[in-house]
Amino acid sequence: MPSRSLRRLLLGWLLAPLLVLLALGAAGTFYIARNAANDAYDKELLDPMLALAQHVQLVNGQPAFNLTQTARDLLLVDAYDNIYYQLSANGSQPVGNLYLPVPPNIGDKALFYNATYSGRSIRVAALRIHIEKGGSGVLQVAETLNKRDSHLLHILLGLLAPAVVIALAAIVLVWFGVRRGLAPLQSLQEEIAARSHRDLRPVPEHHAPDEVRPVVASLNALLGRLDAALASQQRFLANAAHQLRTPLAGLQTQVELALRGDLPEDLRPTFACLHASTIRTAHLANQLLTLARAEPGALPPDAMQWLDLRSVVEDAARIWVPRALDKQLDLGFDMAPAWLVGEPLLLRELLANLIDNALRYTAPGGSITVRCGSAADAWLEVEDNGIGIPAAAITKVRERFYRVEGSPGDGCGLGLAIVDEIARVHDAVLEITAPAAGRGTLVRLRFPHPQAKVFSST
C-alpha cells in the first residue's frame, strides 16, 4: 500500500492548484501579450499600406505605383523584417514583390491575417482601394514576424518573471507553513516514541492543535484502559502467586516429614516425586511473584535507593555457595564497589535468577564466577562454562516461558525473562554472550550512572 504522508497530501493539495493557476496565468499572459503585440504592429503595418494606396494610378489601363525608388525604400525598408507588397486590380497581373491569393470579401476596412510566403511566416494586411476612373483593387502589404516575436518574448519575460518569482515564493511559504503546521504532530510523535512500554501516562493535550486533540484524547483513553488492564493483571498475578506460596510451603513441609518418617517402600518413590514437583511449583510461584513486582508501575515511588552492588553479591554468596558445593560446582566471586540507585529486593532476585540458571545448566565439576565493579557505570557479570545458549536463541531466551529445545533440568523458562524485566526497571543494558573461552554463558548488566539516572514509578 503506498505511503499516505499528511505532509505530502497537504503539499499536493496546496501546490498542485498553485502550479495549475501559474500555467493558466502563463497561457493567459501569452494570449494577451500576443494580441497586444499584433495590435501594435498591425497599426504600424497599416501606415505604409495607406501611403502606397495614395500613389496608385492607371498606366495604359494597368495599375501602377507612382513612387520614386527613394520614396519606395522609405516606405518598405525595415531594419528587422522583410516588407512585401502586392496590388491586384481588374483581373490584371499583380504588381509588387508578393504573390499571394487575394482573400475574398475584402472591404474598405483593413483585414489582418497570418500566412506563409517563401517558407516564412508573415503578417498580411489587405485593403480594398479605389483607383481613378472608377476602378478598384486589393492592396496587400506583409512583413515577417521577427520584431513581433522579439517583442512578444520581451513582454512574456517581463510579465512571467515576476509571476514565477511570486510562485516560487508561494511554494516556499506553503512548504514552510505546512512544516510549521505539522510541527505539533512531530513533537507528539517524538514524545510517544521516546517513551518506554512502561510509561502509560496520558499524553499532554495542551500543545496539540484543535483538530488533533480528539485523537490525543482517544489515545489517552486507550492508555488509561491499558494501564488499568495491566494493573489488574499484575494484581491477579501477585495475589495468585502469594496465595499459592502458603499452601505450597505447607505441602512441602508435610511431604518432607512423610519422607523422614516410616513410609512403605512402595510409596517412597511417589512421595519423592511429589516433593520434587512441590519444590518446582513453589519455585514457579516465587518467580511469578518476582515478575509481578518487576512489572511497570508495581514499584512505589520511593523504592529506589542508593546501594552498593557489592553488598548484594556478598549476600548471594552466603546463600548460593552451599548449594553450589552440593552440586560439585566451583562458585567464585570477584567483587569491587559498584554504587548505583536501585531496588534492593529486585536486584537480589535478579542475581539469584542468574546464579540459579548457571547452577542448573552447568555440569558437575564446572565453574561459575560472579563479578561486580564500576567504571563509568556500575556493572554485574555472571559467567559459567556450562552448556551455553545457541546464538539463534539469544533473543528468545528473554521471552517468558521460553526454554531452549533440548535443555536439561526442570526450569520453567522465566529466569532470564525476570532478569530482563528487572534490568528494564533500572534502565540497565543486558547483554548475553559467550565467554572469551568460547564455552558457556556470560551475562553482563551495565547500570546507568546514578547522577544521570532519574527513576519513576512508571
Domain with residue 50: its CATH number is 3.30.450
Q: What is the pLDDT of residues 28-65, one digit of tens each?
A: 877 887 787 788 888 888 888 888 877 777 777 677 77
Is there a domain that residue 212 lies in?
Answer: yes
Whether residue 365 is predicted with pLDDT greater than 50 in this model: the reply is yes
- Of the candidates 229, 339, 384, the residue with the CA atom closest to the CA atom of residue 295: 229
Q: Is the dihedral of CA 182, 188, 193, 194 positive or negative?
A: positive
- Roughly how many angstroms between the first and final C-alpha of the chain, as a whole number? 37
- Which triple of cell numbers denotes residue 387? 552448556
Is there a domain that residue 172 lies in?
Answer: no
- For the chain, how long is the longest CA-to-CA vector? 161
Same domain, 132 and 249: no
Is there a domain that residue 1 lies in?
Answer: no
Domain boundary among 242, 275, 298: 298
Same domain, 25 and 60: yes
Rounded Cα distance, 353 and 284, in Å: 12
Same domain, 148 and 20: yes
Q: What is the mean pLDDT of the chain?
A: 80
Whether residue 197 is predicted with pLDDT greater than 90 in this model: the reply is no
DSSP H or E stretch at residue 76:
helix 69-76
Q: Which residues contact 181 (CB under 8 A, 6 or more apart)?
A: 10, 209
Whether residue 228 is predicted with pLDDT greater than 90 in this model: the reply is no
Sole residue written with cell 517524538: 190
Is there a domain that residue 457 lies in?
Answer: no
Lowest mean pLDDT among 42-46, 230-234, 353-357, 439-443: 230-234
Is there a domain that residue 91 lies in?
Answer: yes
Q: Which residues contact 97 (CB under 8 A, 6 or more apart)?
A: 84, 85, 86
- DSSP 3-state assignment of 149? helix
Domain boundary among 253, 280, 298: 298
Looking at residue 93, its pLDDT comes to: 76
Domain boundary among 279, 298, 317: 298
Same domain, 315 and 435: yes
The more confidently predicted of residues 351 and 4 is 351
Same domain, 284 and 146: no
Is there a domain that residue 160 lies in?
Answer: no
Instruction: Using a cut of 0.85, tell me whether the model's pTM lies above it.
Output: no
User: Ramachandran region of residue 216, left (φ > 0), alpha (ψ -120 to 50) or beta?
Assistant: alpha
Report the number of distinct structural domains present in the chain.
3
When computed from its CA atoms, the radius of gyration of the chain, rounded to whole angstroms, is: 49
Rounded Cα distance, 334 and 319, in Å: 16
CB 418 within 8 A of CB 290: yes
CB 108 within 8 A of CB 137: no
Structural domain range at position 265 = 195-298
